[in-house]
């Protein structure tokens, strides 16, 4: 079942890279008591994700934070090492929290996965943006086509704040 506005995020664990190395963070640790702008992408370094989606997120980061967003999070079905390298290459001001969902556990739990096996990608996340307040989905913008950024970009979510 796909998550919808008004639903509470399911319990899940992500991997994040810290100065001490990879660490596990739960949905509670990331979302409880916070306003989080969550951006999901099918894959780090893929053309649309790297060249179209992330630039728009971080061009709007300061404005989102000025409107009360505590955390800008990026989730993908990639491992923590890829996510850390991608953060280095896309988030020049270190404004985002990059969440590795390597086994697609969170992605499947929210019902926003798709099968990219025909293109050699395996199970991936749909492209979306989500505003989450204290663990509850307030806005959800899911792309119909993974190769487009029409409703899931930073500018769209900023306009919804």
Q: Sign of the CA dihedral 47, 49, 54, 55?
A: positive
Domain boundaries, the chain: 13-160
d(CA 73, CA 93): 14
pLDDT above 90 for 54: no
pLDDT at 81: 95
pLDDT above 90 for 73: yes
Report, as an integer, the average pLDDT of 94-100: 94
Report, as an integer, the average pLDDT of 139-153: 89
Helix (H) or strand (E) holding 40: strand 35-41
d(CA 7, CA 13): 18
pLDDT above 80 for 52: no
- At the second CATH level, the architecture of 13-160 is 3-Layer(aba) Sandwich (3.40)
* Residues recognised as catalytic: 49
Closest CA to 4 of 132, 113, 123, 105: 132
């Amino acid at each position: 079942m796909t998550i919808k506005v008004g639903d509470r995020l399911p319990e899940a664990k992500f991997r994040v890279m810290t100065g001490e190395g990879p660490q596990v963070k739960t949905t509670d640790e990331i979302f409880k008591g916070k306003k989080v702008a969550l951006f999901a992408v099918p894959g780090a370094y893929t053309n649309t994700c790297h060249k179209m989606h992330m630039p728009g997120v971080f061009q709007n980061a300061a404005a989102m934070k000025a409107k009360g967003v505590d955390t800008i999070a990026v989730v993908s079905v990639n491992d923590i090492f890829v996510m850390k390298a991608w953060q280095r290459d896309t988030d020049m001001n270190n404004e985002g929290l990059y969440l590795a969902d390597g086994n697609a556990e969170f992605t499947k739990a929210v019902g926003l996965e798709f099968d990219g096996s025909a293109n050699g990608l395996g199970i991936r996340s749909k492209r979306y943006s989500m505003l989450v307040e204290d663990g509850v989905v307030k806005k959800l913008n899911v792309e119909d086509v993974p190769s487009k950024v029409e409703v899931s970009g930073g500018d769209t979510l900023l306009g919804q704040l």
